[in-house]
Amino acid sequence: MYSTCTEDLEEARVKMKELCEDYPRYDERIDELLEKKEEWVKLFRMDLMYRSHNTNNLAEACIRILKDIILTRTKAYNVPSLVDFIVNVWELYFKDRILDYAYGQRAQPQLKYNKLCERMPESK
């Protein structure tokens, strides 16, 4: 993932093949991932401007909502309680969010839209 040149990437793949001799399905999975290497290997993403953030902001935002709002930073000590939190509390959270948008109680999207409209040039 962090290879800086194609030689390093190939060398890492050879080492991985040696380690995966006893695990053919895992080796197949690595081959499948390497078919899409342009999407996730840093070497092929050097021309993109990602400002040193190599993560998916949407995934991080979802995890933050899960931790902060749904689980309220409490620890679920067993799987049934964690499932209960996710099924009940998360569903209520999303239902409330959707209703807020539907009733127009969240002004942020409208404010952003208005700001973008102000920046657009006048059409004649």
pTM for this prediction = 0.39
C-alpha span between 55 and 65 (Å, rounded): 16
Query: What are the tens digits of pLDDT across the range 43-93?
Result: 777 666 555 555 666 677 777 877 777 777 777 678 888 888 888 888 888
From the centroid of its chain, how far is CA 31? 22
DSSP state letters, 11-33: HHHHHHHHHTTT-HHHHHHHHHH
C-alpha span between 42 and 52 (Å, rounded): 11
Domain boundaries, the chain: 6-45, 76-119
| Phi and psi based region of residue 118 (left: phi greater than 0; alpha: psi -120 to 50; beta: remaining) | alpha
